[in-house]
Amino acid sequence: MKLNVNGIEREIDSPLLTPLLFVLREELGITSPKAGCQQGGCGACTVLIEGEPRRSCLVPVAAVNGAGVTTLEGIGTAEHLAPIQQAFVHHYGMQCGFCTPGILLAAHAYIEGGGGDDKRAISEALAGHVCRCTGYVKILAAVSAAARGDSFDLTMTTGTPTTTFVAGVTE
């Protein structure tokens, strides 16, 4: 079998019914897709197959023989972040980071597919992606910002305090 992973042709030796998730993680050493539930329930293993978000834990590798697969490693690097990656950094769209690869890929596919700054449509696109840290608000803000085409300042190392909150202010 063959897969085109992040633009590179790879020969696959895993047995036919191996979930794509473990072909990527164990055979190819690509660890951004996570084994969150292995039942299709959490979204952490999401990758793009021919551009469409799919749960890699539920996809037997033989079913996608020859297909193009994109993982988070394939949409940008630390030096050249994709807009959706910049948006997540700027808007604090992640905390522990475990659900982040799946959510980012679903959001990336939404925007690549022409999705706009529409809360309802974004929520639909991210439906089924579980995050236990953020409460989703900052994730939705990040996707909205990327969909609007905002530019992001990632050098915010100092900045000015935006509020003055000092203990005992009402004393």
* Residue 97 binds another protein (CB under 8 A): yes
C-beta of 98 vs 136, nearer to another protein: 98
Contacts of 93 (CB under 8 A, 6+ apart): 87, 100, 103, 134, 138, 139, 141, 142, 143
* Residue 38 binds another protein (CB under 8 A): yes
CB of 119 to another protein, least distance (A): 22
CA dihedral 76, 122, 52, 6 (to 10 degrees): 10
* Residue 44 binds another protein (CB under 8 A): yes
Residues 147, 122 contacting (CB under 8 angstroms): yes
Question: In this chain, which of 23, 49, 64, 104 binds another protein, going by CB under 8 A?
Answer: 104
Question: DSSP readout, 8-22?
Answer: EEEE--S-TTSBHHH
Question: In this chain, which of 37, 58, 67, 121 binds another protein, going by CB under 8 A?
Answer: 37
Question: In this chain, which of 69, 71, 139, 146 binds another protein, going by CB under 8 A?
Answer: 71
